[in-house]
Amino acid sequence: MTRSPAPLVLLDLDGTLTDSAPGILAGIRHAYGVLGLPVPDEATLRSFVGPPITESFGGHGVPADRVDEAVTAYREVFAAAGMYDNRVFDGVPQVLRELRAVGCTLAVATSKPEVFARPICDRFGLTELVDGVFGAPIEEGTSTKADVIAKALAALGRTSPVVPGADGPAVMVGDREHDVHGAAAHGIPCLGVTWGYAADGELEAAGAAGLVHDVAGLTRAVLDRLDRP
Protein backbone atom coordinates (compact mmCIF):
# COMPACT_ATOMS: atom_id res chain seq x y z
CA MET A 1 0.00 0.00 0.00
CA THR A 2 1.42 3.38 -1.01
CA ARG A 3 1.60 5.91 1.80
CA SER A 4 0.72 9.55 1.22
CA PRO A 5 3.50 12.08 1.79
CA ALA A 6 3.73 13.80 5.15
CA PRO A 7 1.55 16.85 5.75
CA LEU A 8 3.21 19.91 4.23
CA VAL A 9 3.40 23.31 5.91
CA LEU A 10 4.66 26.20 3.78
CA LEU A 11 5.82 29.20 5.80
CA ASP A 12 6.28 32.80 4.78
CA LEU A 13 9.35 34.46 6.29
CA ASP A 14 8.95 38.24 6.76
CA GLY A 15 6.12 39.03 9.14
CA THR A 16 5.37 35.37 9.80
CA LEU A 17 8.54 33.83 11.21
CA THR A 18 10.58 37.01 11.64
CA ASP A 19 10.08 40.67 12.46
CA SER A 20 12.21 42.00 9.61
CA ALA A 21 10.72 45.48 9.26
CA PRO A 22 13.57 47.48 10.88
CA GLY A 23 16.22 46.44 8.36
CA ILE A 24 13.89 46.51 5.36
CA LEU A 25 12.48 49.95 6.17
CA ALA A 26 15.95 51.42 6.68
CA GLY A 27 16.89 50.29 3.18
CA ILE A 28 13.69 51.66 1.69
CA ARG A 29 14.18 55.07 3.30
CA HIS A 30 17.74 55.10 1.98
CA ALA A 31 16.55 54.30 -1.54
CA TYR A 32 14.03 57.15 -1.62
CA GLY A 33 16.72 59.49 -0.33
CA VAL A 34 19.17 58.44 -3.04
CA LEU A 35 16.51 58.99 -5.70
CA GLY A 36 15.53 62.36 -4.22
CA LEU A 37 11.92 61.27 -3.81
CA PRO A 38 9.59 61.81 -0.83
CA VAL A 39 9.70 58.96 1.66
CA PRO A 40 6.25 57.36 2.11
CA ASP A 41 4.53 57.53 5.49
CA GLU A 42 5.11 54.81 8.07
CA ALA A 43 2.00 52.79 7.25
CA THR A 44 2.95 52.72 3.56
CA LEU A 45 6.52 51.75 4.38
CA ARG A 46 5.30 48.76 6.40
CA SER A 47 3.30 47.61 3.39
CA PHE A 48 6.62 47.03 1.60
CA VAL A 49 7.38 44.07 3.86
CA GLY A 50 6.36 40.87 2.11
CA PRO A 51 5.72 41.56 -1.60
CA PRO A 52 8.54 41.77 -4.15
CA ILE A 53 10.36 45.07 -3.56
CA THR A 54 10.13 45.98 -7.24
CA GLU A 55 6.34 45.82 -7.04
CA SER A 56 6.27 48.02 -3.95
CA PHE A 57 8.59 50.70 -5.30
CA GLY A 58 6.62 50.84 -8.54
CA GLY A 59 3.37 51.24 -6.65
CA HIS A 60 4.57 54.01 -4.35
CA GLY A 61 5.97 56.90 -6.28
CA VAL A 62 9.05 55.48 -8.00
CA PRO A 63 8.84 55.95 -11.79
CA ALA A 64 9.06 52.72 -13.76
CA ASP A 65 12.35 53.74 -15.32
CA ARG A 66 13.91 54.28 -11.87
CA VAL A 67 12.75 51.11 -10.09
CA ASP A 68 16.04 49.31 -10.81
CA GLU A 69 17.93 52.29 -9.37
CA ALA A 70 15.78 52.17 -6.25
CA VAL A 71 16.36 48.44 -5.82
CA THR A 72 20.12 48.89 -6.15
CA ALA A 73 20.13 51.65 -3.52
CA TYR A 74 17.94 49.57 -1.20
CA ARG A 75 20.19 46.54 -1.46
CA GLU A 76 23.30 48.60 -0.68
CA VAL A 77 21.95 48.99 2.85
CA PHE A 78 20.05 45.72 3.12
CA ALA A 79 22.89 43.44 2.03
CA ALA A 80 25.46 45.28 4.12
CA ALA A 81 23.66 44.93 7.43
CA GLY A 82 19.91 45.49 7.14
CA MET A 83 19.08 41.86 6.44
CA TYR A 84 20.24 41.00 9.94
CA ASP A 85 18.40 43.88 11.64
CA ASN A 86 15.77 41.30 12.27
CA ARG A 87 14.52 38.87 14.91
CA VAL A 88 12.54 35.65 15.11
CA PHE A 89 9.14 36.16 16.70
CA ASP A 90 8.97 34.72 20.21
CA GLY A 91 7.70 31.15 20.19
CA VAL A 92 8.30 30.44 16.50
CA PRO A 93 11.13 27.91 17.01
CA GLN A 94 8.95 25.95 19.42
CA VAL A 95 6.10 25.86 16.88
CA LEU A 96 8.43 24.54 14.19
CA ARG A 97 9.75 21.84 16.53
CA GLU A 98 6.22 20.82 17.48
CA LEU A 99 5.08 20.53 13.87
CA ARG A 100 8.12 18.49 12.89
CA ALA A 101 7.67 16.25 15.93
CA VAL A 102 4.23 15.19 14.67
CA GLY A 103 5.58 14.42 11.20
CA CYS A 104 5.00 17.59 9.18
CA THR A 105 7.32 18.60 6.36
CA LEU A 106 8.15 22.30 6.76
CA ALA A 107 9.40 24.69 4.08
CA VAL A 108 10.01 28.42 4.04
CA ALA A 109 8.50 29.97 0.90
CA THR A 110 9.28 33.68 0.67
CA SER A 111 9.20 36.39 -2.00
CA LYS A 112 12.54 37.58 -0.65
CA PRO A 113 15.38 36.64 -3.01
CA GLU A 114 16.73 33.25 -1.99
CA VAL A 115 20.28 34.62 -1.83
CA PHE A 116 19.11 36.68 1.16
CA ALA A 117 16.53 34.28 2.61
CA ARG A 118 18.97 31.40 3.09
CA PRO A 119 21.63 33.30 5.09
CA ILE A 120 18.91 34.96 7.17
CA CYS A 121 17.44 31.57 8.06
CA ASP A 122 20.95 30.30 8.78
CA ARG A 123 21.79 33.26 11.03
CA PHE A 124 18.62 32.99 13.09
CA GLY A 125 18.59 29.21 13.49
CA LEU A 126 15.58 28.53 11.26
CA THR A 127 17.29 26.43 8.59
CA GLU A 128 17.84 23.54 10.96
CA LEU A 129 14.15 23.54 11.90
CA VAL A 130 12.73 23.24 8.37
CA ASP A 131 13.17 20.93 5.40
CA GLY A 132 13.93 23.61 2.84
CA VAL A 133 14.22 27.35 2.26
CA PHE A 134 12.82 28.63 -1.05
CA GLY A 135 12.81 32.18 -2.31
CA ALA A 136 12.63 34.34 -5.40
CA PRO A 137 15.44 34.83 -7.92
CA ILE A 138 17.58 37.93 -7.43
CA GLU A 139 15.48 39.59 -10.14
CA GLU A 140 12.52 39.24 -7.80
CA GLY A 141 10.21 41.24 -10.05
CA THR A 142 10.16 38.26 -12.41
CA SER A 143 8.67 36.00 -9.70
CA THR A 144 5.38 35.80 -7.82
CA LYS A 145 4.57 34.05 -4.56
CA ALA A 146 2.87 31.37 -6.65
CA ASP A 147 6.17 30.85 -8.50
CA VAL A 148 8.08 30.43 -5.25
CA ILE A 149 5.52 27.91 -3.99
CA ALA A 150 5.74 26.02 -7.28
CA LYS A 151 9.50 25.80 -6.80
CA ALA A 152 9.08 24.48 -3.26
CA LEU A 153 6.48 21.91 -4.30
CA ALA A 154 8.65 20.61 -7.13
CA ALA A 155 11.72 20.33 -4.88
CA LEU A 156 9.71 18.45 -2.27
CA GLY A 157 8.20 16.07 -4.81
CA ARG A 158 4.65 17.44 -4.58
CA THR A 159 2.24 18.08 -7.41
CA SER A 160 0.23 21.18 -8.23
CA PRO A 161 -2.59 21.64 -7.68
CA VAL A 162 -2.20 19.72 -4.46
CA VAL A 163 -4.62 16.81 -4.17
CA PRO A 164 -4.98 16.08 -0.43
CA GLY A 165 -5.86 12.42 -0.82
CA ALA A 166 -2.90 11.68 -3.08
CA ASP A 167 -0.31 14.24 -2.03
CA GLY A 168 -1.00 14.55 1.66
CA PRO A 169 -2.62 17.67 3.17
CA ALA A 170 -0.91 21.04 2.79
CA VAL A 171 -1.31 24.51 4.24
CA MET A 172 0.40 27.87 3.79
CA VAL A 173 1.04 30.20 6.72
CA GLY A 174 1.56 33.88 5.88
CA ASP A 175 0.81 37.44 6.86
CA ARG A 176 -0.04 39.12 3.53
CA GLU A 177 -2.58 38.76 0.74
CA HIS A 178 0.21 37.60 -1.58
CA ASP A 179 0.59 34.47 0.56
CA VAL A 180 -3.13 33.72 0.29
CA HIS A 181 -3.26 34.23 -3.47
CA GLY A 182 0.01 32.40 -4.13
CA ALA A 183 -1.14 29.37 -2.18
CA ALA A 184 -4.58 29.39 -3.80
CA ALA A 185 -2.93 29.11 -7.22
CA HIS A 186 -1.82 25.63 -6.13
CA GLY A 187 -5.02 24.59 -4.37
CA ILE A 188 -3.53 25.19 -0.92
CA PRO A 189 -5.43 26.99 1.86
CA CYS A 190 -3.61 29.76 3.70
CA LEU A 191 -3.81 30.61 7.38
CA GLY A 192 -3.24 34.32 7.92
CA VAL A 193 -1.23 35.45 10.94
CA THR A 194 -2.14 38.83 12.36
CA TRP A 195 1.18 39.68 14.02
CA GLY A 196 2.71 40.56 10.64
CA TYR A 197 2.34 43.46 8.22
CA ALA A 198 -1.10 43.11 6.65
CA ALA A 199 -3.43 46.09 6.59
CA ASP A 200 -6.70 45.77 8.50
CA GLY A 201 -9.00 43.39 6.67
CA GLU A 202 -6.39 42.45 4.04
CA LEU A 203 -6.20 38.76 4.87
CA GLU A 204 -9.96 38.32 5.14
CA ALA A 205 -10.53 40.07 1.82
CA ALA A 206 -7.92 37.86 0.16
CA GLY A 207 -9.76 34.73 1.30
CA ALA A 208 -7.55 33.43 4.11
CA ALA A 209 -8.77 30.07 5.41
CA GLY A 210 -8.55 31.39 8.96
CA LEU A 211 -6.72 33.90 11.14
CA VAL A 212 -4.23 33.15 13.89
CA HIS A 213 -3.77 35.95 16.38
CA ASP A 214 -0.78 34.76 18.42
CA VAL A 215 2.18 32.46 17.91
CA ALA A 216 1.12 30.28 20.84
CA GLY A 217 -1.96 29.24 18.89
CA LEU A 218 -0.22 28.50 15.60
CA THR A 219 0.60 24.81 16.10
CA ARG A 220 -3.00 23.91 16.91
CA ALA A 221 -4.37 26.08 14.08
CA VAL A 222 -2.08 24.41 11.54
CA LEU A 223 -2.90 20.90 12.72
CA ASP A 224 -6.62 21.62 12.76
CA ARG A 225 -6.44 22.93 9.19
CA LEU A 226 -4.42 19.93 8.00
CA ASP A 227 -7.06 17.61 9.46
CA ARG A 228 -9.82 19.10 7.31
CA PRO A 229 -10.76 17.41 4.02
Domains and CATH numbers, the chain: 8-19+86-226 (3.40.50.1000), 21-84 (1.10.150.240)
Q: What is the mean pLDDT of the segment spanning 39-53?
A: 87
> Quick one: which of 188, 175, 218, 194 has its CA closest to 51?
175
* Whether pLDDT at 82 is above 70: yes
Cα–Cα dist 137/98, whole Å: 30
pLDDT score for 186: 96
**2 confidence band (pLDDT: 50, 70, 90):** very low
* Whether pLDDT at 55 is above 90: no
Cα–Cα dist 172/42, whole Å: 28
Q: Is the backbone of residue 28 left (phi > 0), alpha (psi -120 to 50) or beta?
A: alpha
Catalytic: 12? yes
Q: Which of 12, 167, 175, 179 is catalytic?
A: 12
Instruction: Give the rounded percent of residues in the chain with a pLDDT score beyond 70.
Output: 95
* Whether pLDDT at 12 is above 70: yes
Identify the bridge partners of residue 190 per DSSP, sorted by sequence position: 172
Q: What is the mean pLDDT of the segment spanning 114-120?
A: 94
CA geometry: angle 138, 144, 149, nearest 5 deg = 95
pLDDT score for 165: 62
Task: Please state whether beta strands 87-88 and 18-19 pair in parallel, antiparallel, or not at all (unpaired).
Answer: antiparallel
* Whether pLDDT at 114 is above 50: yes
Q: What is the pLDDT of residues 123-175, one digit of tens each?
A: 999 999 999 999 999 886 678 999 999 999 999 999 888 776 666 799 999 99
pLDDT score for 51: 80
Amino acid at 37: L
Mean of pLDDT over the chain? 92
pLDDT score for 50: 78
Strand order in the sheet with 190-193: 133-136, 105-113, 8-11, 170-174, 190-193, 210-212
Q: What is the mean pLDDT of the segment spanning 207-215?
A: 97
Instruction: Give the rounded percent of residues in the chain with a pLDDT score beyond 90.
Output: 74
pLDDT score for 1: 38
Higher pLDDT, 4 or 209: 209
pLDDT score for 4: 67
